[in-house]
Amino acid sequence: MNAIARRTRVLAACAAVALLTTVLPPATEAQDLEDWQRDELRGLLDAINAAVEGEIVPDTDPFELRPDFLKGTDGNAYVPFTLSIDPAKVDSPMVSMYLFVAEPGDENAIFEDAYFASVEPSGDGLIRISRAFTAPGGPYDVYVAIQQSMGEESDEDERGPVMLLRQRVDVPDLWDGRLQLSTIILPEVVEPLAAPLTPDEQILSPYSLGATRIIPKFDEEFAKQAELSLIFLVYNPGLADGSKPDITIEYTFHVRASGGEEYFNRTNPQQFNGQTLPPAFDVTLGHQIVAGQTVPLSLFPAGDYRLEIKVTDNTNSAEIIESVMFTVLET
């Protein structure tokens, strides 16, 4: 236990405070677009309108949509999401994309926007596009229409068919006053920025928090030479002295096998309270707890694991337990 505990280091952001003020810019305005761009987006919107009105049925899983959830502003959740697309479906260097989010059965969007996104296959060969929307807690139908974008000289035939996805997304209410967590993100990249992103830059890097750039990892497999990193936020803590929380976070590793689980190890608990947080930390001013760890996996035998994360609010005994599954590969 001590060996891992000594070699565990907290992400640079974990001991700091975060004031998440992610604000998405207004939807793309028609006057910002050229005629050919408006033509491409009009076709996508027509497809979405037909799906919303029940005139067509969206494709079955034309691509994958994975949402994550963080606390936004004004009672909303901030929902960064990533699309994973088979590269065989896209021949162009860019795609046009329309996003439409509505309550089930409602033809009016609570969020919509349009984008032109560059196509760059990731390390595993899939094309990944990350964007975000905001919404209050509740169930939503998320429509995403994508088509190849061939530029100004192209015609509709060259662009190929519209890929249309409809997916029900249940957005949590992170403003209800109960102890809650954001999605636990396994980052591929965490790096400091000289300044927080502008709203337009945030569109292209929707997982970034404040002055920290984050690119998530999209699988749960790690080499023994790698490190398991995770980052998440703790919301709605009770206050011990009117401004600071008193939170304990425990991390326990279990080995998963066909016969069940066995305890493997644990790291030292994290404490977020008046003794460990900066003097200026004040929950009432919107400061948020950013938690997480980076754990070397060299001492983990190859196999499947479950990391149990237990968050305890010592001011009122509220608890949350979440799990992260991951696999350590021999090479």
Taking a C-beta distance cutoff of 8 angstroms, is the pair 322, 230 a contact? no
What pLDDT, on the 0 to 100 scale, is given for residue 24?
Answer: 58
Contact 234, 274 (CB under 8 A): no
212: Cβ contacts below 8 Å, ≥ 6 apart: 12, 13, 18, 190, 191, 192, 193
Is the pLDDT at 145 greater than 80, yes or no? Answer: yes
**Rounded to the nearest 10 degrees, how much is the dihedral formed by the CA atoms of 136, 138, 139, 143?**
0
Half-sphere exposure of 160 (CA within 13 A, CB side): 16
Note the Cα 179 to chain centre separation in Å: 19
Q: Judge whether 2-20+178-329 and 30-171 match in fold.
A: yes
Residue 155 in this model has a pLDDT that exceeds 80 = no
Amino acid at 318: A
Domain ranges of the chain: 2-20+178-329, 30-171
Could you tell me where the beta strands, DSSP code E, fall in 155-302?
163-171, 180-181, 187-192, 212-216, 221-223, 227-235, 247-257, 260-272, 288-296
- pLDDT score at 125: 85
CATH of 30-171, one of 3.40.630.30, 3.40.50.300, 2.60.40.150, 3.60.20.10: 2.60.40.150
Joined together, the tokens standing for residue 109 give: 């969007």
For 169, the token pair is 């997304």
- Using the predicted structure, report yes or no on whether residue 23 has a pLDDT greater than 70: no
pLDDT at 10 > cutoff 50? no
How deeply is 13 buried, as exposed, middle or buried, from its count of CB atoms within 10 A (0-12, 13-18, 19+)?
Answer: buried
Average of per-residue pLDDT values in the chain: 88
CATH number of 2-20+178-329: 2.60.40.10
Q: pLDDT tier at 33 (50, 70, 90 boundaries)?
A: confident
Rg of the Cα atoms in the chain: 22
Per the rule left: phi > 0, alpha: psi between -120 and 50, beta: everything else, 260 is left
Residue-wise pLDDT for 189-225, tens only, equals 999 999 988 888 899 999 998 888 999 999 999 999 9
SS (H, E, C) 167-188: EEEEECCCCCCCCEECCCECEE
Cα–Cα distance list, 222 to 7, 133, 225, 254 (Å):
17, 30, 8, 16
> How do residues 185-196 score in pLDDT, each as one tens digit?
999 999 999 998
Question: Could you please report the per-residue DSSP string of 32-62?
Answer: GS-HHHHHHHHHHHHHHHHHHTTSS---S-S
Given pLDDT bands bounded at 50, 70 and 90, which one contains residue 35?
A: confident
Q: What is the dihedral of CA 94, 210, 228, 86, to 10 degrees?
A: -10
Once rounded to an integer, what is the mean pLDDT over residues 302-315? 98
Query: Which of the four pLDDT bands, split at 50, 70 and 90, describes residue 4?
Result: very low
Q: What CA–CA distances, in Å, run from 4 to 226, 228, 251, 258, 328?
A: 14, 12, 12, 25, 15
Instruction: Round to the nearest angstrom and report the end-to-end CA distance of the chain.
Output: 23
Global model pTM greater than 0.85:
yes
CA dihedral angle for residue 44, residue 49, residue 50, residue 51, rounded to 10 degrees: 90
